[in-house]
Structure 1
Amino acid sequence: MKALESDAPLIVYVDIKSPYAFVAIRPTLALEKSLGIRFDWRPLTLDIPSYLGSARKSKGKVVESTRSASQWTGIKYGYRDARRYVERQGMILKGTEKIWDSSIANIAISWVMQTDRDRLGDYFEAVYPPFWRRELDIEDIAVVEACLEQAGIDSKDFAAFVAGEGRAQHDALQKQLHPSGIYGVPTYVFDGTILFGREHLPFVRWHLQGREAPAPDIAYEIDDREPQPC
């Protein structure tokens, strides 16, 4: 697997522990469905401490932190920004109390892509909303297996996949991402073009529909409904 190449017309990189990926999941799935095109969904497991420092909370209070004041300011704004869009979708986003290793939950994306592709949206619904309500320990493989089963996906050989082929695929892909120019999620890739952020979805739609009209502005879509006349 090469970071910028796919047989699908669009690659989508996401991470279960990213609030901005959470914001983008439903709109991106809706675009995939409306176009009748299967995207190539892939995991990008963010190494947050490498650029934003690390922190841990207990009962709502910070008990460990290596972050600067400016890093905390940026993180707090990021959560407020993502929360605005999540709440428009009728969901809840609570800041995490530690930096999670999301690799197991992310490897499950590859598992679903390879074993039961049509249920990928069901897996996202089983894992994303409860994780952001602080209801899931995504570092526990049994918890991720339960999410797969809840989504109607067979998890019988998932643990072996995580221990072997799945982990090897995941780690090999992660090593390619930064050198390829992919740094965050959601990231959309087509024809060598890399677009970071859900605000590019209107442009992605325009591209996938054949670029027949003037390119749209780069902006968040409020929802999937067509605008109504005043």
Structure 2
Amino acid sequence: MSRSVDLWIDLRSPYSFLAKDPAYALEKEFGVTLRLRPFTLDIQGTYNVRDPKVAERGLRRIKYLYADVRRFANQRGMIILGPKKIFDPTLIHLAWMYADAAGKGRALIDAAYPRFFKRELDYEDRAAVEALLAEIGVDVAGFDAFVKGPGPVAIGVHQAEADKQGIFAVPTFVVDGELFWGQDRIDFVRAKLAG
């Protein structure tokens, strides 16, 4: 049985997008099993404040984060545009879980991320999300039932497991119970796997 690495990501997170391909490379480099896991960041709670000074600092932080993420993206020829609003990730995370059950979870992630960060995919648009599922070869006939039934339960199971592992932000790698937060911590993950 191969060693496993959990990678907790939120499909709205530009840093998670940056972590994805280097994380995939870990499988080839170390023969590990990479388990991509959904984690929903509480972005609204973080930046929804009443004190104008605190809100302004939050806005400056967001602007800096996107400037920083673009530096990393530019090095790799990737386009990452900041979204025009804070999107609710529930529908796209449900689509991910649904696609994953059909063996197409990574295909959904690989198709969704670049479109979202080019502002070509609205994660809250049901028709667009279903079109994405169909495009990657997932039968959407059962998606509505999944969204209304087992889907939210599956998301809840992941969130509970994230809490159990101590996840607080994304992307977070977990190797043998040790957390490595941030796409720029991949060298620490490699060292842990090599050691």
Report the TM-score, using the length of structure 2 for normalisation: 0.86
Counterpart of 2:96?
Answer: 109
Q: Report percent identity of matched pairs.
A: 36
Q: Could you report, residue by residue, the CA deviation over 1:157-207 in whole angstroms, capped at 9, with x for unpaired residues? A: 222212211111212432553464211111111222121111221222233
Q: Distance in 2 between matches of 1:26 and 1:67?
A: 35
Counterpart of 1:93?
Answer: 80
Q: Distance in 1 between matches of 2:53 and 2:124?
A: 22
Counterpart of 2:13?
Answer: 18
Counterpart of 1:53?
Answer: 48
Task: Give 1:173's match in structure 2, choosing from 146, 158, 164.
Answer: 158
Q: Distance in 2 between matches of 1:67 and 1:106?
A: 30
The residue type equivalent to 1:31 in the other structure is: L
Task: Give 2:173's match in structure 1, choosing from 188, 196, 209.
Answer: 188
Q: Distance in 2 between matches of 1:137 and 1:111?
A: 18
Q: Would you say 1:160 and 2:160 are equivalent positions?
A: no
Quote how far apart the aligned CAs of 1:77 are.
0.7
Counterpart of 2:133?
Answer: 148
Q: Could you report, residue by residue, the CA deviation over 1:75-117 in whole angstroms, capped at 9, with x for unpaired residues? A: 111001111112222221111111100112112332233221x
Q: Would you say 1:75 and 2:75 are equivalent positions?
A: no
Which has the larger share of helix?
Answer: 2
Q: Could you report, residue by residue, the CA deviation over 1:18-73 in whole angstroms, capped at 9, with x for unpaired residues? A: 1111111121122224434321111011110111228xxxxxxxxxx996111111
Flag structure 2 segments of 5+ consecutive residues without an equivalent.
none
Q: Do 1:188 and 1:195's aligned partners in 2 also have CA atoms closer than 8 Å?
A: yes
Aligned-residue CA RMSD (Å): 2.4
For CA contacts below 8 A with separation 6 or more, give which structure has more relative contact order: 2
CA distance 1:66–1:92, shift in 2 (3 Å): farther
Task: Give 1:124's match in structure 2, choosing from 109, 129, 148.
Answer: 109
Q: Do 2:108 and 2:136's aligned partners in 1 also have CA atoms closer than 8 Å?
A: yes
CA distance 1:122–1:88, shift in 2 (3 Å): farther
Flag structure 1 segments of 5+ consecutive residues without an equivalent.
1-6, 55-64, 212-230
Structure showing greater Rg:
1
- Report how many residues are paired: 192
Report the TM-score, using the length of structure 1 for normalisation: 0.74
The residue type equivalent to 2:32 in the other structure is: I
Q: Would you say 1:42 and 2:37 are equivalent positions?
A: yes
Task: Give 1:133's match in structure 2, choosing from 107, 111, 118.
Answer: 118
CA distance 1:148–1:34, shift in 2 (3 Å): farther
